[in-house]
Chain A
Amino acid sequence: MDAEPLIRWDWLGNHLDDVWERTTEHLLLTVVAFFAGLVISAMLTSISRRWRWTATPISAVTTVLYTIPSIVLFAALIPWLGTGLSVPAVALTTYSLVVLTPFLIVAFDEVDRATLDAADAMGMTRRQRLVSVEIPLALPAVIAGLRVTAVTIIGLVTVGGIFGLGGYGNLIQDGLNRAFPTLIVVGVVLSVLMALVVDLLLVAVGAMVSPWRRSR
């Protein structure tokens, strides 16, 4: 028997529909987890800033959640939520907020104290200070956190595929089951490509929202 080649282009040509469906699944899960995680992280960050005593418990809980292996979390959620998209959505959102929250807290903590002091002394209200000083100055560090989060989620969607939960992971799992390398190669390559493209997009957004950092 001839060795199975790493990639069979004819298969790929005949299954573009399939690949496209996995791509949209993968992207959808990523986007949902990314934005849900962002919203929850923003809330946790603002809670920990308003009531300083909550900062320690919040970071303790997020750290503990982070130590749960993703495979275990996916497996644990399936009996509760079935095998629809809600399992990966919940699991991925959890990782998303766990990765992002510490970044957000640090991003806002690192805004120069003297600058905030000046903003207060000039008679800005809390909201004016937040919108016109704190958020713009925290943004570069926030973007750095969003990049790590996005790439992490894209990778974890693939892990979810082991349980048939959608995305490129399904292709890889199929390939493993059927000893068909083409599926594995396509899944891995596209997953990495998506991570790269999303990362570059975020870099571009970062450069757009903080033009002042380039004019130094």
Chain B
Amino acid sequence: MSTTALSGSANATKDAASDASASVVPAIEFRDVSKVFEGNDSPTIDDLSLSINHGELVTFVGPSGCGKTTTLRLINRLIEPSTGTIHIEGRDVSEVPVEELRRDIGYVIQQVGLFPHRTVAQNIATVPKLLGWSKTDITARVEELVDLVGLDRAILGRHPAALSGGQQQRVGVARALAARPSVLLMDEPYSAVDPVVRAHLQDELLALHHRVGTTIVLVTHDIDEAVRLGDRVAVFAVGGRLAQFATPDELMAVPADEFVVSFLGPDRQLRRLALRHLGDLPLTDPSPDLDAAIADGSAVVLDAAATGRNAVDAMLDSGHRTVAVRSDGTITGSITLDELARLLET
């Protein structure tokens, strides 16, 4: 199995970086990047500087025309910047031969763009084949990927037109990950599928990211998707200005400006609570009082996987001010409305 020079150096840098945290080389770095398209007066991207860490899942979000997709396409050089440089693992992408660069970057788009004349297996094998992997390596990898994205191996011989939208999207992800790229780019990957399938695919992406640890950049126009998926969220304003780059919680706790406030919408504090699972919060230990409250129905019981927002809703719904948290059938503690509110002050 062959790997490109780029991914070879990537692994070396990754190991070195974990030892010496002072000189961490970002997975992706934009340095003073601007892009003005021919015939446009104003820039699509205006002096962007931004670094993305190894293994991070970063979402780019903003209204249409904010340059988020253009920014994404600069990374694999589908678009070239007017000024500034982009670096992957410290290497200026403009100095890497473009085909070599792209074979080390996975790319998933909204329309999926599977090759309709090729089977699912052939589609997934595209990049390994370009890299000259052996037949046995390719077959093994294709089967591994189909399992990884949760598809049945029976579809390997089918053509894309015979698949559902959700299945096509999963094949698109498998194809993008086939040659173990350093970076995975996703451009509005879920806007063409229905909401139920979208929620499924989002969960799967988080699980997948947890397992393979690839650095992911995902573009979306949906702020809910951005904060749900992103370790950090980059909010772009029209005119290609990076308005804020922060964790979802920071973003909603301390929005940088009026634009971000309006883009996030009116219920920022509830959204912050929605990002926190009860199982992860500091709970008051179980006590005989709590048992009694549960027994006489004056405490609501929720699962540890429920969010702070679910808890507030349940309290408002029931009129009680305490929620008991249950994990695997046993009560692990409780939290009150006041305590939840205090969590948001920090």
Residues of A within 8 A of B (CB): 112, 114-115, 117-125, 128, 133, 136-137, 210, 212, 215-216
Q: Is the CB of B112 within 8 A of A123?
A: no
Sorting the interface of chain B by its residue count into under 10, 10 to 19, 20 to 34 or 35 or more gives 20 to 34
Residues of B within 8 A of A120 (CB): 78, 102
Q: Nearest 9 pairs between A and B by C-beta? A: A118-B113, A123-B102, A123-B103, A114-B111, A121-B107, A114-B113, A123-B99, A216-B161, A212-B117
Residues of B within 8 A of A (CB): 76, 78, 98-103, 105, 107, 109-118, 126-127, 130, 158-159, 161-162, 175, 185
Q: CB < 8 Å: which of B110, B116, B127 contacts A137? A: B116
Q: Is the CB of B109 within 8 A of A216?
A: no
Q: Which secondary structure characterizes the binding site on chain A? A: helix
Q: Is the CB of A122 within 8 A of B102?
A: yes
Q: Is the CB of B109 within 8 A of A114?
A: yes
CA distance A215 to B118 in the complex (A): 11
Q: Is the CB of B103 within 8 A of A114?
A: no
Q: Is the CB of B111 within 8 A of A215?
A: no
Q: Is the CB of A117 within 8 A of B116?
A: no
Q: Is the CB of A121 within 8 A of B78?
A: yes
Q: Is the CB of A215 within 8 A of B130?
A: no
Known: A118-B107, A118-B109, A216-B162. A124 touches B114 (CB 8 A): no
Known: A215-B158, A215-B159. A115 touches B115 (CB 8 A): yes
**Nearest residue, chain B, Cβ from A139:** B117
**Nearest residue, chain B, Cβ from A133:** B115
Residues of B within 8 A of A115 (CB): 113-116
How many A-B contacts if CB must be within 8 Å? 69
Would you list 14 pairs from A and B whose C-beta atoms are within 8 A, ordered by A residue? Answer: A114-B110, A115-B113, A118-B107, A121-B76, A121-B78, A122-B102, A122-B103, A124-B130, A133-B115, A136-B117, A212-B116, A212-B159, A212-B161, A216-B161
Expressed in whole angstroms, the minimum distance between the Cβ of B8 and any Cβ of chain A is 16
Expressed in whole angstroms, the minimum distance between the Cβ of A139 and any Cβ of chain B is 9
Residues of B within 8 A of A114 (CB): 109-113
**Nearest residue, chain A, Cβ from B98:** A123
Given contacts A124-B130, A212-B116, 7 further A-B contacts (CB under 8 A): A118-B107, A118-B114, A118-B115, A119-B115, A123-B102, A123-B127, A212-B161
Q: Is the CB of B162 within 8 A of A215?
A: yes
CA distance A183 to B235 in the complex (A): 80
Q: Is the CB of A216 within 8 A of B159?
A: yes
Q: Is the CB of A122 within 8 A of B161?
A: no
Expressed in whole angstroms, the minimum distance between the Cβ of B176 and any Cβ of chain A is 8
**Nearest residue, chain A, Cβ from B116:** A212
CA distance A210 to B110 in the complex (A): 26
Q: CB < 8 Å: which of A117, A122, A215 contacts B127? A: A122
CA distance A122 to B100 in the complex (A): 9
Q: Is the CB of A137 within 8 A of B99?
A: no
Known: A122-B126, A122-B130, A124-B130. A117 touches B113 (CB 8 A): yes
Q: Is the CB of A112 within 8 A of B113?
A: yes
CA distance A115 to B112 in the complex (A): 8
**Nearest residue, chain A, Cβ from B107:** A121
CA distance A119 to B111 in the complex (A): 13
Q: CB < 8 Å: which of A122, A210, A212, A215 contacts B107? A: A122
CA distance A124 to B101 in the complex (A): 11
**Nearest residue, chain A, Cβ from B97:** A123
Residues of A within 8 A of B116 (CB): 112, 115, 137, 212
| Best-surrounded residue of A115, A118, A119 (most CB of chain B within 10 A) | A118
Q: CB < 8 Å: which of B78, B99, B100, B162 contacts A124? A: B99
**Nearest residue, chain A, Cβ from B161:** A216
**Nearest residue, chain A, Cβ from B157:** A215
**Nearest residue, chain B, Cβ from A211:** B117
| Best-surrounded residue of A114, A121, A124 (most CB of chain B within 10 A) | A121
Q: CB < 8 Å: which of A125, A136, A212, A215 contacts B99? A: A125
**Nearest residue, chain A, Cβ from B119:** A212
CA distance A119 to B161 in the complex (A): 18
